[in-house]
Amino acid sequence: MAELTPHALAMLAFVGLVFALFIWGRWPIATISLGMLAALPLGFTLFPLQIDGQAVDPTRFFEGLASPALVAICALMIVGHGLVVTGALEPAARRLAGLVAAHPRTALLAVLATAASASGVVNDTPVVVLLIPLLLAAARQAKRPAAGLLLPMNYAVLIGGMATTIGTSTNLIVVAIALSMGVGPFGMFSWFGLVALAAIPALAYLWLVAPRLLRDVPQQEQQLSDDVFDAELHVDEGSALAGKPLGKALAEVRGGLRLLGVRRGTRLIAALPSMVLRTGDRLMIRETALRLKELEAHMDAELHDLQPPTEVKTPAASTPSTPNTPSALPTSNISDAATSQDTAAEADAAAIEEGAATKKEPAPQPEKKTPSAVVAQMIVTAGSPLEGRSIRQERLADRFAFVVVGLRTPAPQAAWRSSSLADRRISVGDVLLVQGDADAMRGAQRDGLGLLLDERFAVPRQDKAWIAIAVMAAVVLLAATKTMPIAMAALAGALALVLTRCLSWEDVAQSLSMKVVLLVAASLALGDALAVTGATAWLAQGLAANSQALSPAWLAALLMALMGLVTNFVSNNAAAAIGTPLAVSLAQALGVPAEPFVLAVLFGCNLCYLTPMGYQTNLLVMNAGGYRFSDFLRVGTPLFVIMWGTLSFLLAWRYGL
């Protein structure tokens, strides 16, 4: 049995620490990954490792930054983003949505099959993000609960994502680590047949059984814009609320008000009826979007703190740059509540014009735009610059012609009482209620800030959708036929999208996730360090020695189950980085082919069905469908067992374990 050297022991302790940090979740994945890249070379510099009389070069752990796998992952993120920006998948998705309204049961099967197929060549998240609003709209039209559609669709996407090398970044990480350890190479469709066979009973379960298990999910009969949002009413200078007791102000509100607290400066003060409101106070409330606009008009308090310019260059300057008419801007069903705002704006303009006749023309001042009455919802998607940051940190009001007036999040609401709306940390799946210019909202969507949940907002650059589809098809064909390595094919595809102006360089920058880049490089470095110190060999030989009564088939099945349980609480990529070296060493210790054990890790890291935090798309559908934690456990557990059992049997059958 391999000797457990001090370096190997230190690496096992380091892996345990990394694993604990991933579970803890207090630090971002990118921060942990960067720490790994810094700690590994430093550790081998301070405590050199001698192999055959020569010290291991600490800079070898930076080689993952120039890995072909990392190049392939980045290029594929760019090519996949081209499909999203051009709306290439939208026509097919809309036809599916129409079918849901006409023939719900048949349509669900079509949705499952199409979603699973698409996610094999397109990143999972864009597929789910595209289908959520369309299926929600179709469910409302058909007067059927959306809960029976969204979660099965999400699981079908996850199943399809494990079928090819490029289906998820996790697959690429597993393949890259295995290749660096001498296992492979794997082709794009090397294990496609295994997943396709396992998908048959899994999709049948999602089609016939899962909707029945979701019948108890409360139906969201109201439209998305009628969901409740956290918001703040600002008592500005001149507001009728200033100087009024809180109890009297609330008594004048027709229909009542869900008041969560009052914030004065940075302090949360007791909301007593006798408390006198002051200029600058903020009423923290939770209401529907329609109700928020009504309260803003009737209470003489704004949902934002942007003030209109007090001086203008000429009377004509008071005319809005973008006409607020139905023909000019797509308004939501709550925009009618802004009539009083428009009337007030006209009165302000008239007063300014009257004053201009008696006053000298003031010096030109930079115009501070206030948001128009167009209101829409924007869901924060993975990779958004808002993820993990606050509205104030991203300076949205300065960068875009809209403001955030409300926030809806599936996370616990404790943060609402400890920080203002502008300072709350945003997470994937949160829904922002934004108010402002429609073109600015489209621009923010194009820049990757989030996805507008109003299907009337057109996806830009649809005239180039055929180019994005052709490029993706060419990349898949070249890689599948092994005409060109996947890294070269994907990089050529990304260049083609830029040259044909399907993507701008801003789009390219937006499509690249630094979190994924750092995690891939750190994963390769960690796998190399475990191997070079002999830690994985010691673990694998220990497992093999203590599992002599079990066949290799059962060991592979148990490894898959272990990775499946881990990945529901830890990042899929982190689980892959830890599990892949162990799988290779375990196979070598047993004297059996390493491929089935590598695939057991790959499959296990994709079985993220049990918890909402298991995968980012789980959070997206949880927010949109109103699911609870127990819904994922109830529906995901049978699916986990089906996929685990079927794939374990197929691996043993294919490789003769």
**Residues near 511 by beta carbon (within 8 Å), at least 6 away in sequence:** 77, 78, 80, 81, 383, 448, 503
Residues 6+ apart with CB under 8 A from 132: 150, 379, 451, 453, 620, 621, 624
Q: Percent of the chain scored above 90 by pLDDT?
A: 11
Dihedral Cα 417, 423, 426, 431, nearest 10 deg? 80
Fold of the 379-452 domain: Alpha-Beta Plaits (3.30.70)
Per-residue pLDDT, averaged over 156-171, amounts to 86
- CA quadruple 441, 444, 449, 455: dihedral positive or negative? positive
Distance from C-alpha of 406 to C-alpha of 289, rounded to nearest angstrom: 8
**Closest to 626 in 3D by CA, of 408, 360, 366:** 408
Q: In three state form, how does the secondary structure of 417-466 look?
A: HHCCHHHCCECCCCEEEEEECHHHHHHHHHCCCCEECCCCCCCCCHHHHH
pLDDT band at 91 (very low <50, low <70, confident <90, very high): low
The model's pTM is 0.53
Q: Distance between CA 637 and CA 629 in Å, rounded?
A: 12
Q: Out of 292-296, 603-607, 627-631, pick the least confident.
A: 292-296
What is the assigned CATH class of domain 224-357?
Answer: alpha beta
Structure token digits, residue 161:
């994502």
Residue 103 binned pLDDT confidence (cut-offs 50, 70, 90): confident
User: Do 129 and 171 meet the contact criterion of CB atoms below 8 Å apart?
Assistant: no
Residue 134 pLDDT > 80? no
CB-based contacts of 129, cutoff 8 Å, min separation 6: 84, 379, 381, 451, 620
Place of tokens 């996850």: 158
- Asked if pLDDT for residue 96 goes beyond 80, the answer is no
- Residue 651 has a pLDDT of 92
**Higher-confidence position of 593 and 129:** 593
Q: Are 112 and 153 in contact (CB under 8 A)?
A: yes
Tell me the residue type at 600.
A
pLDDT band of residue 459 (cuts 50, 70, 90) is very low
Q: 77-93: buried (b, 16+ CB within 10 Å) or exposed (e) per residue? A: bbbbbbbbbbbbbbeeb
Mean pLDDT score across all residues of the chain: 75
pLDDT exceeds cutoff 50 at 332: no
Question: Is it true that 224-357 and 379-452 share their CATH fold?
Answer: yes
Question: In the predicted model, is pLDDT for residue 456 greater than 60?
Answer: no
* 7 vs 222, more confident: 7
In degrees, rounded to 5, the angle at the alpha carbon of residue 329 between the alpha carbons of residues 324 and 333 is: 90
Structure tokens at 619: 């959070």
When pLDDT is averaged across residues 619-635 and rounded to a whole number, the result is 78
Tokens of 520: 């891939």
Other beta carbons within 10 angstroms of residue 345's beta carbon come to 18
Q: Provide the 8-state DSSP code for 86.
A: T
- In angstroms, how far is CA 182 from the centroid of its own chain? 33
**Residue 317: what pLDDT?**
35
User: What region, left, alpha or beta, does residue 280 occupy, with left being phi > 0 and alpha being psi -120 to 50 degrees?
Assistant: left
Residue positions counted in the chain: 657
Q: What are the residues whose beta carbons fall under 8 Å from the beta carbon of 65, sequence distance 6 or more?
A: 521
Q: Where are the domains of the chain?
A: 71-221+462-514, 224-357, 379-452
Mean pLDDT, residues 516-543 taken together: 76
**Residue-wise pLDDT tens digits, 333-347:** 333 333 333 443 444
State how far the Cα of 615 lies from the Cα of 125, in Å rounded to an integer: 10
pLDDT in tens, 289-331: 767 766 776 677 777 765 544 333 333 333 333 333 333 333 3
- Cβ atoms < 10 Å from Cβ of 209: 14
| Token output for 110 | 């079509």
- What tokens were used for 294? 């009504």
Residue 208 has pLDDT above 60, yes or no: yes
CA distance 535 to 12: 7
**Burial level of 34, CB count in 10 A (0-12/13-18/19+)?**
middle
